[in-house]
């Protein structure tokens, strides 16, 4: 019985980043944006995705990315496959960044995340411009980018705390 419990706990903790990302996407979609800012709030899904990609890299596997991408598309009402495509490219980039620049401390993580967030918005803008055939640019897009960048450190602290108290790394090493 204890062995089964241990195994269940182990597999749950292994998938904790995935569940946290799904939960934060769901919660962020239920937050009513403050009035007067054209429904602009920080794009929380990308904060979670970048943080966990930079921290656990390939351990957030392709199938989990597939589910996250599809879930985001369906929840936000964007064309099916759009965020899946952007997140896939971003996963590839964040793993490359992690490997090349040895992201091993919090400060480096934040710098890398800032760059990846900007890349994400450039990719999204390019994609939606091509898909809709319209120029998407407003002062609220800039606000969206800035709000996402400035919220990143606050959420990163919370996620890092979860990462440390659950010792997620240990489970991946064993795997």
* 19 lines the binding site for other proteins (CB under 8 A): no
* 124 lines the binding site for other proteins (CB under 8 A): yes
**For other proteins, which residue of 2, 102, 134, 165 counts as binding (CB under 8 A)?**
134
Contact 66, 84 (CB under 8 A): yes
- Ordered alpha helix ranges (H), 31-61: 44-56
Q: Which two tokens stand for residue 125?
A: 């803008």
CA distances (Å), 128 to each of 119, 133, 175, in order?
14, 8, 39
C-alpha 40/C-alpha 37 separation (Å) is 6
What is the nearest approach in angstroms of other proteins to the Cβ of residue 40?
6
Applying CB under 8 A, which part among 48-56, 60-68, 102-110, 161-169 lies near other proteins? 60-68
Closest CB to other proteins among residues 32, 107: 32
* 94 lines the binding site for other proteins (CB under 8 A): no
Contact 126, 133 (CB under 8 A): no
Query: Given the structure tokens 């656990």, which residue do they identify?
Result: 56
CA distances (Å), 7 to each of 1, 60, 113, in order?
10, 19, 33
**For other proteins, which residue of 2, 5, 36, 165 counts as binding (CB under 8 A)?**
36
* 80 lines the binding site for other proteins (CB under 8 A): yes
Instruction: Note the residues at the interface with other proteins (CB under 8 A).
Output: 23, 26-33, 35-41, 43, 58, 61-62, 65-66, 69, 74-82, 84-85, 88-89, 91-92, 95, 124-125, 128, 131-132, 134, 136, 138-141, 144
């Amino acid at each position: 019985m204890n062995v089964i419990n241990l195994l269940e706990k182990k597999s749950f903790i292994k998938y904790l980043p995935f569940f946290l990302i799904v939960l934060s996407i769901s919660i962020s979609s239920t937050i009513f944006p403050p009035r007067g800012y054209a429904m602009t709030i920080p794009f929380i899904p990308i904060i979670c995705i970048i943080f966990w990609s930079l921290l656990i890299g390939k351990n957030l596997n392709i199938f989990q990315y597939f589910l996250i991408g599809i879930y985001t598309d369906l929840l936000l009402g964007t064309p099916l496959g759009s965020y899946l495509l952007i997140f896939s490219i971003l996963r590839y980039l964040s793993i490359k960044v992690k490997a090349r620049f040895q992201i091993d401390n919090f400060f480096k993580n934040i710098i890398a995340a800032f760059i990846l967030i900007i890349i994400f918005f450039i990719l999204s803008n390019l994609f939606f411009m091509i898909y809709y055939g319209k120029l998407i640019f407003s002062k609220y897009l800039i606000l969206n980018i800035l709000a996402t960048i400035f919220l990143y450190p606050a959420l990163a602290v919370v996620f890092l705390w979860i990462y440390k108290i659950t010792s997620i790394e240990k489970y991946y090493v064993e795997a």
